Chains A and B, each alone.
Chain A
Amino acid sequence: MGAPSNSQPTKRTKWWVIVLLALPYFGLCFPGLYARATPAVFGFPFFYWYQFAWVVLTSFLLYLVYRQLKSR
């Protein structure tokens, strides 16, 4: 807690951080986008592998956000 709070007055979240945080919601909250069978990958219908892909992608996006938001 003893760190100098020099970043305090101008601490504004960058717009792209908000975009990165919002992307998984656009990708997953509209099942109409991905509720189909093809193209299948390794036997997984599109509906399933698409959502698995978002797990990995979200983790990566959150890593980028973490680098921006972490308090030093």
Chain B
Amino acid sequence: MPLHTTALAVFCFFFLFVTVAGFMAARWRRPDAGIHSLEEWGLAGRSFGTWITWFLVGGDLYTAYTVIAVPAALYGAGAIGFFALPYVVIAYPYMMVVMPRLWRVCHRNGYVTLADFVRGRYGNRWLAVAIALTGILSLMPYIALQLVGMRVVFSAMGLHGEAPLVIAFLVLAGYTYSSGLRAPAIIAIVKDVMLYIMVAAAVIILPIRLGGYAHIFAVASQQLALRKPPGSIFLRPQQFLGYSTLAIGSAIALMLYPHTATAVLSAKDGNVIRRNAALLPAYSFLLGLVALLGFIALAAGVVTKDTSAVVPLLFLKMFPEWFAGFCLAAIAVGALVPAAIMSIAAANLFTRNLLGEFLRTKLSNRGESTTAKLVSLAVKFGALAFVLKLPTPYAIEMQLLGGIWIAQLFPSVVIGAFTRWMNPWALLCGWAVGMTWGTQMAASLGLKSSVYPLHLFGGTYAMYAAVPALLVNLLISSSLTLLFRALKAEEGSDSTVAEDYA
């Protein structure tokens, strides 16, 4: 691919701009005592109001990889990829009910992670460790995917090799280390504004140049029919269950990911989160429009075997060079925000719930933040090695698994936020079975897909593996709870009080 010099220059300008902003963020809203504690470095002092939270959570959940992968799915397979839209709609009523409750109990007890909450709620070290491990395990491939997104952008501009990716990552690691959650919060504002400009231009200008949406859908329909296996811009009846379970399972998982928790817990009060549940669907609308870029690319005649290159190629083909550079910068900056928050979330989990749990002496505030900073570096370099060593499809497949895994926290965290009925050991057993079976289902599909054909009562139901795994998890957690109760087994302590949830 030729080197796109103008695009590259525009790209570098924006990249430099957010780098400076990232380092300056360390001074933003800085309390007199400095930012040497997990509360400050890892949660920015739980001080963010409605707008910053809106940008931060939006920048966090709608990742660069989303911008690349969702249109790629529509380009490659058609309507089934559009499940991303119902997914990010039904996530918000659930957020409205669950997250303000979790925020309150975490705020009142100084919990920094959801594993902290489970530790306090159930008084069971092993359950908390399981939650923390699941979180870290699911985050690693997710961070790696952000890098994949960046690599796609670089190679579309004609930059090949590992050097650009390594440089971008060193920069990211630098300002995450020095500024903590403040850095992605500032950069998220820049990123989201850029992304809105990009999408507005793309969904208005491109259809005008390509003969309108009716024409785009018609051409996409013809093109998809030629695929092997043939795709369609409409769902087939046998895809219905897969479509809805993908949406439901992903929505359940979304609110349990550690980086979601980090962004939500940094809000300054519960109403900020409630307001955001109503305001965040604006991003969902954006995502739906981004998804349609997959069909627009089909209509524009973008031809590529690597579906993740579809969006960058579309921009370079249809936009003037300088604006393509702007759009590609928006995607790359879009990778930096979630990658930073994810590494902070993983660092918080490791420091509080793995190291902190097994250390004989409690870490000081400064000790905690220093450890977390170092761990955030380690996590990022781990993800970098993952991307440089392993082929891209592997990262995508691992991320599918991550979604299945993280959904298994639902009984401990979400149900735990409403009732202490469950026994912690029962939850741990349910978690273990859900994790194992979920992994088995995905593995039996060769990690190619996460929609598993379940044979049940003589019928076949193709559904997202996270959902049946979670149902079995719930079944085991509740029946073992009843059993342990009948045996009068130990229930564990609860250091939260009813007032914490009101």
**B356 to nearest A CB, angstroms?**
26
Any A CB within 8 A of the CB of B464? no
* Given contacts A11-B502, A25-B90, A66 and B233 within 8 Å (CB-CB): no
Chain A residues lying within 8 Å of B248, measured Cβ to Cβ, are: 29
Point out the residue from B92, B217, B279, B285 that lies within 8 Å of A44, measured CB to CB. B217
Point out the residue from B96, B237, B270 that lies within 8 Å of A21, measured CB to CB. B96
* Given contacts A29-B248, A70-B274, A65 and B96 within 8 Å (CB-CB): yes
Chain B residues lying within 8 Å of A29, measured Cβ to Cβ, are: 86, 90, 244, 247-248
Any A CB within 8 A of the CB of B85? yes
**B174 to nearest A CB, angstroms?**
37
The majority secondary structure among interface residues of chain B is helix
Docked-complex contact A55 and B217, CB < 8 angstroms? no
* Given contacts A65-B96, A69-B96, A59 and B279 within 8 Å (CB-CB): yes
- Name the residue of chain A whose CB is nearest to the CB of B274: A66
Q: Give the docked Cα–Cα distance between A17 and B289 (Å).
A: 30
Chain B residues lying within 8 Å of A52, measured Cβ to Cβ, are: 85, 285, 288
**A58 to nearest B CB, angstroms?**
5
Q: Give the docked Cα–Cα distance between A71 and B104 (Å).
A: 12
Chain B residues lying within 8 Å of A44, measured Cβ to Cβ, are: 213, 217
Chain A residues lying within 8 Å of B96, measured Cβ to Cβ, are: 21, 62, 65-66, 69
Q: Give the docked Cα–Cα distance between A14 and B472 (Å).
A: 32
* Given contacts A8-B502, A66-B278, A47 and B90 within 8 Å (CB-CB): no
* Given contacts A32-B237, A32-B240, A47-B79, A62 and B502 within 8 Å (CB-CB): no
Any A CB within 8 A of the CB of B479? no
Over the window 31-72 of chain A, the binary record of Cβ atoms lying under 8 Å from chain B Cβ atoms (1 yes, 0 no) is: 110011100101111011001101110110111011001110
Q: Give the docked Cα–Cα distance between A62 and B85 (Å).
A: 17
- Name the residue of chain B whose CB is nearest to the CB of A42: B213
> What is the interface size of chain B, counting residues whose CB is below 8 A from a CB of the partner?
41
Chain A residues lying within 8 Å of B100, measured Cβ to Cβ, are: 69
Within 8 A of A (CB), among B87-102: 89-90, 92-93, 96-97, 100
- Name the residue of chain A whose CB is nearest to the CB of B95: A62
Q: Give the docked Cα–Cα distance between A8 and B96 (Å).
A: 19
Docked-complex contact A59 and B281, CB < 8 angstroms? yes
* Given contacts A8-B502, A42-B213, A43-B217, A24 and B285 within 8 Å (CB-CB): no
Docked-complex contact B92 and A62, CB < 8 angstroms? yes
Which residues from chain A sit less than 8 Å from chain B, CB to CB? Answer: 5, 8, 11, 21-22, 24-25, 28-32, 35-37, 40, 42-45, 47-48, 51-52, 54-56, 58-59, 61-63, 65-66, 69-71
12 A-B pairs in the complex with CB atoms less than 8 angstroms apart: A28-B86, A35-B79, A35-B235, A43-B212, A43-B217, A45-B234, A48-B288, A48-B292, A55-B89, A58-B281, A62-B92, A70-B271
